[in-house]
Amino acid sequence: MSQDSGLYRKSVLTKVQIDRAIRESIGKWNYYMRNNLDSLKLDAYQIMSIGFENKDDQAINVGKRSLGTYLSRTGEPMRGIKYLRSSLIHFQKTGDVVIETEILNEIGNAFFNSGKTKEAEIYYLKSLKVGKESPDPTSAFLAESNLAQVYIALGELDKAVGILHHYKTESLRLMKMESVSNAYSLLGTIEQKKVNLKLAGEYFRKSAQFGFRSKARTQIAHAYNNMAIVHFQNGDRKASLEYFKKALDIRLTIGNSRAVSESYFNLGSYFQELKNYNEAIAYYRIAEKYSKEQNLLKEEMDAVRALAEIYKLTGDTLNALKTMERLISIQEKYYADMSSMKAEDMELIESIEILESEYFSGDREAKLIAVINRQDNHQFVIYLSIIMMFAVLTLLVIYRKKVS
Q: What is the pLDDT of residues 42-66, one digit of tens each?
A: 999 999 999 999 999 999 999 999 9
Give φ, ψ of 136 to 5 degrees: -85, 115
For residue 73, the 8-state DSSP code is T
Q: pTM of the entire structure?
A: 0.77
For residue 255, the 8-state DSSP code is T
User: What does the alpha-carbon distance between residue 120 and residue 385 come to, in Å, rounded to a whole number?
Assistant: 63
Model pLDDT, residue 356: 80
User: What does the alpha-carbon distance between residue 14 and residue 137 come to, in Å, rounded to a whole number?
Assistant: 33
Whether 7 shows a pLDDT value over 90: the answer reads no
Model pLDDT, residue 124: 98
Residue 362: pLDDT band (50, 70, 90) is low
User: What does the alpha-carbon distance between residue 105 and residue 61 come to, in Å, rounded to a whole number?
Assistant: 16
Answer yes or no: are the C-beta atoms of 320 and 308 closer than 8 Å. Answer: yes
Model pLDDT, residue 141: 95
Nearby residues of 348 by Cβ (< 8 Å), 6 or more positions away: 1, 41, 45
Mean of the pLDDT values across residues 362-367?
48
Residue 11: pLDDT band (50, 70, 90) is low
User: What does the alpha-carbon distance between residue 210 and residue 193 come to, in Å, rounded to a whole number?
Assistant: 22
SS3 1: coil
Residue 336: pLDDT band (50, 70, 90) is confident
Whether 173 shows a pLDDT value over 50: the answer reads yes
Mean of the pLDDT values across residues 80-108?
97
User: What does the alpha-carbon distance between residue 202 and residue 224 come to, in Å, rounded to a whole number?
Assistant: 12
Nearby residues of 201 by Cβ (< 8 Å), 6 or more positions away: 188, 227, 230, 231, 234
- What angle (nearest 5°) sits at the alpha carbon of residue 348, between those of residues 298 and 18? 120
